[in-house]
Amino acid sequence: MGRIVLVCGMPGAGKTTLARALVAELDAVHLCPDEWLVPLGIDPHDARRRDRFERLQWRHGLRLAELGLTVVVDFGLWSRVERRRLREQARAIGADVELRVLDVPLAERWRRVAARNAEPGAVVISREQLVDYERWWQPPDAAERAAYDAPVRRSGAGTSGPNAVP
Ligand SMILES: Nc1ncnc2c1ncn2[C@@H]1O[C@H](COP(=O)(O)OP(=O)(O)OP(=O)(O)O)[C@@H](O)[C@H]1O
Ligand SMILES: [Mg+2]
């Protein structure tokens, strides 16, 4: 059975950066809505379409996990109820599910987003949007974190795989 890694955090927290590193480390599949919505010409700020797209992508991710793959989910996952829905659906198919939390202060996230906004092809987020989104952020508490499986890493001492220390 596969593994699902939920990456949660507000814009600019570094989710996509972390997800790409995990994908390389774990030979995983990256579910990143922006990477599909933008080439399809769909406004990534269109909440209704984004939500529908994420639900389709999530179903696809569950199927990949059923086939034994590791899937890194880069959806934001700002709310507790959304994280719980994904966790329960992942468990229902027998997948392991882990949570990675990036809780970065607004000032630092705005510094990062402002720099990223200047890059060609960036999904531009204004400071007003970033501030407006704050009210939706529900950082996972200790009880919620305890509901997830511990991370499994291929590299480093004590993990399984070709680099494992016996
Ligand atoms: N730990 C870090 N320290 C400094 N800069 C970082 C760090 N992680 C990511 N960045 C930079 O900050 C910017 C935002 O990171 P990233 O795109 O990964 O965030 P995100 O959480 O995916 O944001 P969004 O929700 O808007 O997609 C990028 O330009 C990235 O290079
Ligand atoms: Mg991102």
DSSP 10-59: -TTSSHHHHHHHHHHHHTPEEE-HHHHHTTTT--TT-HHHHHHHHHHHHH
Ligand 1 atom nearest residue 20's Cα: 18
Provide the pLDDT confidence category of residue 124 given band limits of 50, 70 and 90. Answer: very high
Ligand 1, from 6, 7, 8, 16: best to mutate by most atoms within 8 Å of Cβ? 16
Tell me the average pLDDT of the chain: 93
Ligand 1, from 30, 101, 112, 127: best to mutate by most atoms within 8 Å of Cβ? 112
Residue 127 within any structural domain of the chain: no
**Does the Cβ of 12 fall within 6 Å of ligand 1?**
yes
**Does the Cβ of 117 fall within 6 Å of ligand 1?**
no
Residue 121 within any structural domain of the chain: no
Provide the pLDDT confidence category of residue 118 given band limits of 50, 70 and 90. Answer: very high
Instruction: Take atom 8 of ligand 1 and give the residue whose Cα is closest.
Output: 14
Residue 71 within any structural domain of the chain: yes
Indicate which ligand has the atom closest to the C-alpha of 7: 1
Indicate which ligand has the atom closest to the C-alpha of 20: 1
Instruction: Take atom 13 of ligand 1 and give the residue whose Cα is closest.
Output: 112
- Per the structure, the complete domain to which residue 95 belongs is given by 3-103+138-145
Residue 163 within any structural domain of the chain: no
Provide the pLDDT confidence category of residue 128 given band limits of 50, 70 and 90. Answer: very high
Residue 152 has pLDDT above 90, yes or no: no
pLDDT at 153: 77
Query: What is the Cα–Cα distance from 147 to 101, expressed in whole angstroms?
Result: 13
pLDDT at 155: 61
Residue 49 within any structural domain of the chain: yes
Please give the angle made by the CA atoms of 76, 82 and 84, to the nearest 5 degrees: 120
Number of domains in the chain: 1
Looking at residue 30, which CATH number applies to its domain? 3.40.50.300
Interval between CA 82 and ligand 2 midpoint (Å)? 17
Residue 67 within any structural domain of the chain: yes
Residue 82 within any structural domain of the chain: yes
pLDDT tens by residue, 27-84:
999 999 999 999 999 999 999 999 999 999 999 999 999 999 999 999 999 999 999 9
Question: Are 66 and 2 spatial neighbours (Cβ–Cβ below 8 Å)?
Answer: yes
Ligand 1 atom nearest residue 119's Cα: 29
Residue 32 within any structural domain of the chain: yes
